Structure 1
Amino acid sequence: MCSSCSDFQRKMVSFGCSAFLILLAIILGTLWPTLSSRMLRDKLVIKNGSVNYQNWIRTPIPMFLEIYMFNWTNPDELHRYPEVKPHFEEMGPYVFHEVHERVGLVWNNNNTVTFNQRRTWHFDQDLSKGFLNDTVTNLNVISLNVAYFMRDAGAVTKFGTDVILELDGSLLWHSKTIRELLFDGFDDTLLDVLKTLNQTVKIPFDKFGWFVDRNLSDTYDGTFTMKTGADSLENTGILTLWNGADHTGMYRGKCGEVKGTTGELWPVMHSNKTNVTIFASDVCRSLTLQYGEEVIIHDVEGAKYVGDEKVFDNGVKYPEAACWCNSRLDQCPDVKPGVFNASACKYGSPTFVSYPHFYLADQSYRDSIDGMSPNKTKHEFFIAIEPHTGIPLDVRAQLQINMLLQPVKGFKMYEKVPKIMVPMLWFTQRATLTQELANQAKMALVLPELGIYIAIFFGAVGVLLGGIFAFVTIRKWSEQVPYEELLR
């Protein structure tokens, strides 16, 4: 270095390098926390070009919808209940690749964005246990709904409707293929009767199927408005409106509030042990999950949040959950714990939601039928989140759809049936963080400390060079001074 320089000049260069590195370390160490926060914010705020935006606009994590159907093996024995209980056998899973896309984005001035959600499903035969042409026997949902909607009608109207059921040849149960029951749907002349009878709610489909008209639909899930996190990363992904309102209008008080996230984007959390809330448009309500335990996915640490028995209580065990009851106040609670009345979300149909196999539900639901085997490992609803970035690590969103079978006077096929909750199907939405996304998360997590480590490195090099410079200078100076003068 500087071979033509004088000894003094070389010393000044060495001293300058040392001082520069030490000064750089001090500046970097002082400013880095602010710089890293801005860099992290730019990655996590939902805006064009940010990492979180790219991961949100079209979910990069492989997602799967696994559907299990319940096959009723002895429907002919229903008249012998309770001597012979209805027996159900689980079929599946029937696995579909699932993709979520955000469309129709409108950026608002209050740090929110309004959008629709398009979901796409493709059947995966290799991952499935069964075929779409498999046949399943279970309740005839359409005739059940016709009788249910007419339960309080006059005798003459009931008689006329019952004649239509008889002429149509409807039975209490029927057998359909998986394909018909899920996405394809099937025609039924009774559906037109049902749409005529249910004047209070407009039924928007012409075929019946649990997922009919949903594949590739931009409107089925509704319109969402959520916070982008531009004002605070603690607000990222939080919903403010659904279908233009902050209240669903389907449940009383706080139970009807639109709150939480859609489940794929989470705000930055300072504490792992706070609860998290998902707004599930499938059931038109929020689900609050409780902190469970710490987990590690691809060396990324996160917190696991689980659905407990409080989620599907309606005031029996938890008084604060009483607003989930949709009956008259003097009739609440109207169902036993573990099952949620979702009829307000399902066009008035007697549809109830629970965890799979009535996991965490009142024992009476399982005792009234055969074939239920609740298991925490298989049926627990949970989501694992990396709290500092809000990245979901592992998701198992699992719900069961049930129909209420009950006696209805005036309808021959329903007059003498038992009152039981009949399981129709259960599904799980499954997604696990990939190694590539885990690496991105780890880079974001080390970002705040990276600059500090670099500052320490530069500072250490600067001090080391300064020490060497001081040692060499003192040594040369001591060699130039006579020994006798040093002793004076």
Structure 2
Amino acid sequence: MCSSCSDFQKKMVSFGCSVLLILIAIILGTLWPTMSSQMLHEKLVLKNGSVNYQNWIKTPIPMFLEIYMFNWTNPNELHRYPEVKPHFEEMGPYVFQEVHERVGLVWNNNDTITFNQRRTWRFDRDLSKGSLNDTVTNLNVISLNVAYFERNATTLEKMVINKVLDWDGSVFWYNKTIREILFEGFDDTLLDLLKTLNNTVKVPFDKFGWFVNRNLSDTYDGTFTIQTGADSLENVGVLTQWNGANHTGMYRGKCGEVRGTTGELWPVMHSNKTNVTIFASDVCRSLTLQYIDEVTIHNVEGAKYVGDDQIFDNGVKYPETACWCNSPPAKCPDVKPGVFNASACKYGSPTFVSYPHFYLADQSYRDAIDGMTPNKTKHEFYIAIEPHTGIPLDVRAQLQINMHLQPIKGIKMYENMPDIIVPMLWFTQRATLTEDLANQAKMALVLPKLGIYISIFLGTVGILMTGIFAFLTIRKWSEQVPYEELLR
């Protein structure tokens, strides 16, 4: 490096390098926390070009929608209830690959972004247990809704409804293929009757199907406004408005507030929170999950949050959930625990939501029918999140759609029906972090410590070099001084 230099000059260069390494180590160790925070902020803040933005604009994690149908095996025996209970057999899963895209982005001046969500589903025959041409038998949702919406109609109107039901040949159950009952939908003259008879019901479709008009729709899920995290990473993805408002207007007080995240973008938490909240547009409400344990996915540690029995309570067990009851306060609670009245979200239809197979629900729901086998391992609703980056590691969002079958006076087909909750289908939206994305998460997690490790290494090398330089200098000096001089 310095072949023409004297020994003294070489020593001075070596000493200078060691001191420089120590100074770099001190400066790096002092400034790195701020530098790493800024680098992490650039990766996680929601802005065009950031890592979080790229992972959010079109979700890179493979997602799947698994749908299980309930086939009613003895509908003709319903008149013998409760001697013969309705029996249901689970069909499926019918698996669809799911892709989420954000469209119509509007960047607001208050560190928020407004957007719509486009969801795409494609049937995966290899992962499915069954074909879309399979036939399922269950409640005739259309005739049930016609009867329910007209339950308070005049005697004359009910006579007209009875005539139409007789003329149409409708029964309280039907056989339909999976493709019809899910995405394709099917025509029914009763839909036109429903629109004609009840002006208060705004049915936005001409065919019935649980997912009809949803595939590739930019508007079905509504319009979302979330925080970008520009002010703080603890606000990344936090929902501020849905359909232009911070309250759904469907439930009283706090229960109607638009809270949480959409489930795919989470704020930095630094530590495991006691709970997290997801806003599920499918049911027009928030779902608060409770922290239960730590999990590891591809060597990335995270916190697991699960849905407990409080989510679908309306004041029976937990007084703070009383606002989920849509009846007048004096009549609340009006539903036994474990089943949520989602009619306000479903155009007034008697639709109720629960966990699959009435998991964590009141025993009476399962006792009223046959075929329910709740299982924690299979039916638990949960999400696992890496808290320091907000990256979702594993998601199992599982809900069951049910219809309320009840006697309706004046509608002959439903006058003698039992009052029971009938399971229609349940679904799982699942996504698990890939190994490539796990490696990205590991890099983000090691970033705050990386500079510290480097500064420790450089400082250690500098100190060792200084020590060696001092040792050699002292030894050289001592060798040049006579022994007798050292004794004086």
Q: Give the drift of 1:68.
A: 0.1
Q: Give the drift of 1:271.
A: 2.8
CA distance in 2, matches of 1:109, 1:129: 49
Identity %: 84
Q: Give the drift of 1:464.
A: 1.1
State whether residues 338 and 360 of structure 1, in contact with CA within 8 Å, keep that contact through their aligned partners in structure 2: yes
Q: Give the drift of 1:211.
A: 0.2
Secondary structure of 1:29's partner?
helix
Which residue does 1:124 correspond to in 2?
124
State whether residues 405 and 421 of structure 1, in contact with CA within 8 Å, keep that contact through their aligned partners in structure 2: yes
TM-score, normalised to structure 2, is 0.99
CA distance in 1, matches of 2:161, 2:108: 50
CA distance in 1, matches of 2:103, 2:196: 34
Which residue does 1:279 correspond to in 2?
279
Which residue does 2:426 correspond to in 1?
426
State whether residues 121 and 215 of structure 2, in contact with CA within 8 Å, keep that contact through their aligned partners in structure 1: yes
Secondary structure of 2:343's partner?
coil
Q: Give the drift of 1:274.
A: 2.1
Amino acid at match of 1:6: S
Secondary structure of 1:287's partner?
strand
The alignment status of 1:333 with 2:349, answered yes or no, reads: no
CA distance in 2, matches of 1:214, 1:123: 14
Q: Give the drift of 1:59.
A: 0.5
- After TM superposition, the structure 1 stretch with the greater mean CA deviation from structure 2, 395-404 or 7-16, is 7-16
Q: Give the drift of 1:270.
A: 3.1
Which residue does 1:222 correspond to in 2?
222
Amino acid at match of 2:141: V
Amino acid at match of 2:293: E
Q: Give the drift of 1:197.
A: 2.7
Amino acid at match of 2:211: F
Which residue does 1:266 correspond to in 2?
266
State whether residues 253 and 323 of structure 1, in contact with CA within 8 Å, keep that contact through their aligned partners in structure 2: yes
- The structure 1 segments of at least 4 consecutive aligned residues displaced by more than 4 Å after TM superposition are none
Secondary structure of 1:413's partner?
helix
Q: Deviations over 1:6-51 (max 9, x none)?
A: 1111111001100100000000000000000001111110001111
CA distance in 1, matches of 2:87, 2:45: 51
Matches within 5 A, 1:157-176: 157-176=157-176
Matches within 5 A, 1:3-14: 3-14=3-14
Secondary structure of 2:412's partner?
coil
Which residue does 1:316 correspond to in 2?
316
Matches within 5 A, 1:196-215: 196-215=196-215
Q: Give the drift of 1:198.
A: 3.2
Which residue does 1:455 correspond to in 2?
455
Unaligned runs of 5+ in 2: none
CA distance in 1, matches of 2:197, 2:438: 53
Secondary structure of 2:136's partner?
strand
Q: Give the drift of 1:345.
A: 0.4
CA distance in 2, matches of 1:397, 1:197: 37
Q: Deviations over 1:409-448 (max 9, x none)?
A: 1111101110110000000000001111111111111111
The alignment status of 1:385 with 2:385, answered yes or no, reads: yes
State whether residues 388 and 445 of structure 2, in contact with CA within 8 Å, keep that contact through their aligned partners in structure 1: yes
CA distance in 1, matches of 2:82, 2:254: 39
Which residue does 1:477 correspond to in 2?
477
Secondary structure of 1:369's partner?
coil
Amino acid at match of 1:458: L
Q: Give the drift of 1:397.
A: 0.2
Secondary structure of 1:344's partner?
helix
Q: Deviations over 1:62-108 (max 9, x none)?
A: 00000000000000000000000000000000000000000010000
Say what the alpha-carbon RMSD is for the aligned residues: 0.7
The alignment status of 1:43 with 2:12, answered yes or no, reads: no
Amino acid at match of 1:229: G
State whether residues 24 and 455 of structure 2, in contact with CA within 8 Å, keep that contact through their aligned partners in structure 1: yes
TM-score, normalised to structure 1, is 0.99
Secondary structure of 1:293's partner?
strand
State whether residues 271 and 388 of structure 2, in contact with CA within 8 Å, keep that contact through their aligned partners in structure 1: no
Say how many residue pairs are matched: 488
CA distance in 1, matches of 2:41, 2:454: 21
Q: Deviations over 1:187-220 (max 9, x none)?
A: 1111111122332232111110000000000000
State whether residues 149 and 197 of structure 1, in contact with CA within 8 Å, keep that contact through their aligned partners in structure 2: no
CA distance in 1, matches of 2:391, 2:438: 9
CA distance in 2, matches of 1:306, 1:418: 33
CA distance in 1, matches of 2:430, 2:236: 22
CA distance in 2, matches of 1:209, 1:275: 34
CA distance in 2, matches of 1:282, 1:105: 21
Amino acid at match of 2:173: W
CA distance in 2, matches of 1:273, 1:75: 47
The alignment status of 1:406 with 2:406, answered yes or no, reads: yes
Secondary structure of 2:157's partner?
helix
CA distance in 2, matches of 1:196, 1:290: 45
Which residue does 2:193 correspond to in 1?
193
CA distance in 2, matches of 1:18, 1:200: 82
Which residue does 1:487 correspond to in 2?
487
Which residue does 2:362 correspond to in 1?
362
State whether residues 233 and 267 of structure 1, in contact with CA within 8 Å, keep that contact through their aligned partners in structure 2: yes
Q: Give the drift of 1:331.
A: 1.5
State whether residues 183 and 212 of structure 2, in contact with CA within 8 Å, keep that contact through their aligned partners in structure 1: yes
Which residue does 1:151 correspond to in 2?
151
CA distance in 1, matches of 2:56, 2:6: 61
Q: Deviations over 1:217-248 (max 9, x none)?
A: 00000000000001111111000000000000
Q: Give the drift of 1:471.
A: 1.3
CA distance in 2, matches of 1:346, 1:191: 15
Which residue does 1:292 correspond to in 2?
292
